[in-house]
Amino acid sequence: MSDTQIILESKGITKRFAGVTALDGVNLAVHTGKANVIVGENGAGKSTLMKILSGVYPEYEGQVLLDGEEVKFKNPEEAIKRGIAIIHQELNLIPNLSITENIFLGREIQNKFGLLNYKAMHEQASKVLLRLGFQINTRTLVSELRVGEQQLVEIARALSTNARVIIMDEPTSAISDADVESLFKNIEGLKKENVAILYISHKLDELFEIADRFIVLRDGKMVGISENAAKTSKNDLIRLMVGRDI
């Protein structure tokens, strides 16, 4: 076992929307090679925190640290360049483009004449999808894929940018049980490659299958942390989430 390594941190993050304090002084540490699972009821602030870490919200109070140094992402592209990718609850693909075009959107490979090098892009797209156990003609339009397959395309896009932190916001909310199982296998594989997974969900049952550590948010505050998910009981987690016995 290697020592725990913190790749990404938030320190005292506060985020206000008109009239609403979505996050209130949140400290979070994200460990490499682990499934860092954020739990909390609807409205707890999970997505807002993830959007700050991934550059979607450039305005906030507090600090984000990457490899121990403060970063201030102005947009998601800057976060991606530093190895942080987010897969949103609502997938972010263009249905009438091919798998390859989606994976390389905005960072297309060109040949020396400035023309798009589709051959190279298809090859790389196939390769990265194979790492996820997905064998398919990458000329296929995204609209022809199941939601679970579209999610694989998003993960492939993250991997092809060499993401070291992959944030998944409620990734199982719209996919079949079989796709959930294959997603979990892929998460295990990514952990072995030392990718840090930041996984958001409020489906407690499935979380125990993949979580290495839990971070609990309630009403915009970090209210609990467990460094050993296997030793955490579901009841303890629920109590932390809702703030009382139920």
Contact residues for ligand ADP, defined by CB under 6 A = 17, 20, 22, 40, 42-48
Task: Give the Cα separation of 95 and 92 in Å (integer).
Answer: 9
Which residues have CB under 8 Å from 114's CB, separation 6+? none
CB of 9 to Mg ion, least distance (A): 21
Nearer to Mg ion, 47 or 54 (CB): 47
Task: Give the Cα separation of 246 and 243 in Å (integer).
Answer: 9
CB of 184 to Mg ion, least distance (A): 20
In contact, 214 and 225? CB cutoff 8 Å:
yes
Q: Which does 20 bind (CB under 5 to 8 A by kind): ligand ADP, Mg ion, none?
A: ligand ADP
Of 47-55, 59-67, 114-122, 212-220, the segment contacting Mg ion by CB under 5 A is 47-55
Q: Which does 22 bind (CB under 5 to 8 A by kind): Mg ion, ligand ADP, none?
A: ligand ADP
CB of 198 to ligand ADP, least distance (A): 13
Of 28-36, 40-48, 143-151, 203-211, the segment contacting Mg ion by CB under 5 A is 40-48
Task: Give the Cα separation of 152 and 126 in Å (integer).
Answer: 12
In contact, 139 and 98? CB cutoff 8 Å:
yes
CB of 43 to Mg ion, least distance (A): 8
CA nearest to 16, candidates 27, 26, 8: 26
Q: Does 47 bind Mg ion (CB under 5 A)?
A: yes
CB of 173 to Mg ion, least distance (A): 9
Task: Give the Cα separation of 47 and 201 in Å (integer).
Answer: 10
Nearer to ligand ADP, 47 or 172 (CB): 47
Nearer to ligand ADP, 42 or 135 (CB): 42
Neighbours of 173 (CB within 10 A): 12
